[in-house]
């Protein structure tokens, strides 16, 4: 065990976060996301018993967001015509502001299949048990300055 590391962060995830460099991407995926097929060139870490917000909160305690790009946080956009509500996006925005130090202007929505394509280039995909729909978030790692 280590001091100062959120308990939800496994040794495997801690190692991956340390390995990631500036500009690498991390996807925290909901339970419906095709993590294994999209992530066949990525490291896939299973965290089925947890939801995306609690993992996002813990990750942003350790990993800075990229300040050298306009949008360092990406969400999967709803399919046109889908009327499902996405209150989890507000939760994500609160966490990004509180832990990542960035406001909503740094968050973009990406069309579903574009999100899948971008996720194929991620260094790591965390597969969660999140049941909220459209609860996929991609983070671009920034520079550690302290």
Task: Summarize pLDDT for 3-31 with one digit per residue, the tens.
Answer: 999 999 999 999 999 999 999 999 999 99
Give the per-residue pLDDT at 129.
97
Domains in the chain, CATH or no CATH each: 22-140 (3.40.1650.10)
pTM of the model: 0.96
Cα–Cα distance, 18 to 32 (Å, whole number):
27
Please determine, for residue 146, whether its predicted confidence score (pLDDT) is greater than 80: no
Query: What pLDDT score was predicted for residue 102?
Result: 87
Q: At what angle do helices 52-62 and 88-100 cross, to 10 degrees?
A: 10
Catalytic residues, by residue number, are: 22, 66, 116
DSSP 15-31: HHHHH--TT-EEEEE-T
Confidence of residue 101 (pLDDT cuts 50, 70, 90): confident
Q: Average model confidence (pLDDT) for the chain? A: 96
* Predicted local confidence at residue 100, as pLDDT: 85
Q: Tens digits of per-residue pLDDT, 42-74?
A: 999 999 999 999 999 999 999 999 999 999 999
CA distances from 68 to 83, 101, 137 (A): 34, 14, 19
pLDDT band for 1, please (50, 70, 90 cuts). Answer: confident
Residues 6+ apart with CB under 8 A from 92: 52, 53, 56, 73, 75, 107, 137
For position 145, what pLDDT does the model report?
86
pLDDT for the residue 2? 85
């Amino acid at each position: 065990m280590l001091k100062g590391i959120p308990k939800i962060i496994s040794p495997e995830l801690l190692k991956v976060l340390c390995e990631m460099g500036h500009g690498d991407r991390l996807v925290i995926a909901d339970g419906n996301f095709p993590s294994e097929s999209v992530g066949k060139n990525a490291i896939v870490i299973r965290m089925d018993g947890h939801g995306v917000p609690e993992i996002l909160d813990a990750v942003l305690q350790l990993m800075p967001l990229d300040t050298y790009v306009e949008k360092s946080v990406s969400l999967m956009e709803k399919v046109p015509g889908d009327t499902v509500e996405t209150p989890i996006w507000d939760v994500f925005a609160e966490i990004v502001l509180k832990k990542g130090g960035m406001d909503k202007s740094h968050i973009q929505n990406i069309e579903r299949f574009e999100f899948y394509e971008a996720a194929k280039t991620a260094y790591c995909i965390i597969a969660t048990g999140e049941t909220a729909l459209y609860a996929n978030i991609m983070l671009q790692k920034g520079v550690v300055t302290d």
